[in-house]
Structure 1
Amino acid sequence: MKVTVVAGNPKAGSRTLDAATLVATAVTGSPVDSVVDVIVLGPGLLGWGDDKVAQAVETVAESDLVVVASPTFKATYTGVLKLFLDQFATAEGLRGVVAVPVMLGAGPAHALAPELLLKPVLVELGATTPAPALYLADTTYTTDSRIAAYAERWGPVLTAAATARTEL
């Protein structure tokens, strides 16, 4: 099973990337295979045909399980993540990929943002999202039990769905 983390934070090496990696590792019990830290793709995100961006899109599209993460900006996911997702040429760009939407925020006010805003765009691109989205507090995700509880409850569902793709 190929597992990829996508972090759509305007800062490279962010807490968002760290949290997404922790989620992916907890859900699968293994280290991730690939990381797309979207901001490092730079200005290639603003147009079409950039080789680095195309490679990142291909990496994600060929994955079995993808954790897509963003900080909460103005009650939604970041523009840099949207720029990356717009690079998928068709509405079927994530067909067969199992996606886990994750967002980090300062408090509970936007806890529904990943479910209401990030999950639908992933589904629109063809991803399968068999589990609820996950919202994490950006200051406590490393010390609270939310990631572990999510992985315990939804890890078997997510890995079964991702494994089913590899068996097709």
Structure 2
Amino acid sequence: MGIVSDDTSRGGVVALVGNPRPGSRTLVVAQRLAAGVAGLLNGAADPVTTLDLAEIAGQLLVQEGPDADRYRAVVASAAVAVIATPVYKASYTGLLKAFVDRYPAGALRGVLAVPVVVSASPAHSFVGEHLLRPLLVELGATVPVPSFAVVEGQLDDLQNRVDGWLEQNGEVLSRLALRADAVGVR
């Protein structure tokens, strides 16, 4: 799948997936939420850019990684970045960590980020708020809304979960994205 849209200048919505399995359920969750966010921001006129880190895993731990560098640029230019990970060992994946370690501190300044976690147990829903949010803030992203956490058993009702989250948080994201566009942040 890789990059669906390679246009880094438009500042649209990006879904970044840190699951080591290509085409994962985490990818489906991230795409669904990102599509909902894009619909709020621009009526879904622009496609969501999807980045599946499993497809470039071999480039994340080497110095020269042209696809990894391109992914970094796409995320850094996003208006909204939906950053998704499954929960492994009560944390985000090493794959996601290897990717974000390629950024210097503050590199995501101007990006609105939405942490997303997919877990087997509701007990691991804390990962989005207590581990992924601070990581994104360290990189300079603004994380103005609660993370989107879904348990594997809720995936059959995913669209209703996404719609509910957007109903509660979409207005904040929309206002901030419009404000960022108005002042030329990015």
Q: TM-score, normalised by structure 2?
A: 0.85
Equivalent residues of 1:102, 1:114 under 8 A apart: yes
2:166 is the alignment partner of 1:156: no
Distance across 1 between alignment mates of 2:17 and 2:67: 15
**Structure 2 equivalent of residue 74 of structure 1:** 89
**Structure 2 equivalent of residue 39 of structure 1:** 54
Cα distance 1:166–1:85, how it changes in 2: closer, same or farther (>3 A)? same
Equivalent residues of 1:115, 1:133 under 8 A apart: yes
Equivalent residues of 2:112, 2:144 under 8 A apart: yes
Distance across 2 between alignment mates of 1:58 and 1:102: 20
Cα distance 1:142–1:148, how it changes in 2: closer, same or farther (>3 A)? farther
Per-residue deviation, residues 105-164 of structure 1 (Å, max 9, x unmatched): 112111111100001000000000010111101232341532111101101111221222
Equivalent residues of 1:61, 1:94 under 8 A apart: yes
Select the residue among 143, 148, 166 that pairs with 1:129. 143
Aligned residue identity for 2:151: A
Would you say how many aligned residue pairs link Structure 1 and Structure 2? 167
- Of 154-163 and 17-26, deviating more is 154-163
Equivalent residues of 1:5, 1:32 under 8 A apart: no
Aligned-partner SS, 1:140: helix
**Structure 2 equivalent of residue 139 of structure 1:** 153
**1:166 positional shift:** 2.0
**1:92 positional shift:** 1.3
Select the residue among 103, 106, 110 that pairs with 2:120. 106
Equivalent residues of 1:44, 1:52 under 8 A apart: yes
Aligned-partner SS, 2:96: helix
2:20 is the alignment partner of 1:10: yes
Overall identity of the aligned pairs, in %: 37
Distance across 1 between alignment mates of 2:47 and 2:15: 7
Which sections of structure 1, spanning at least 5 residues, go unmatched? none
Which sections of structure 2, spanning at least 5 residues, go unmatched? 1-10
Aligned residue identity for 1:57: R
Aligned residue identity for 2:120: A
Following superposition, which runs of at least 4 residues in structure 1 exceed 6 angstroms of deviation?
A: none
Aligned-partner SS, 1:43: helix
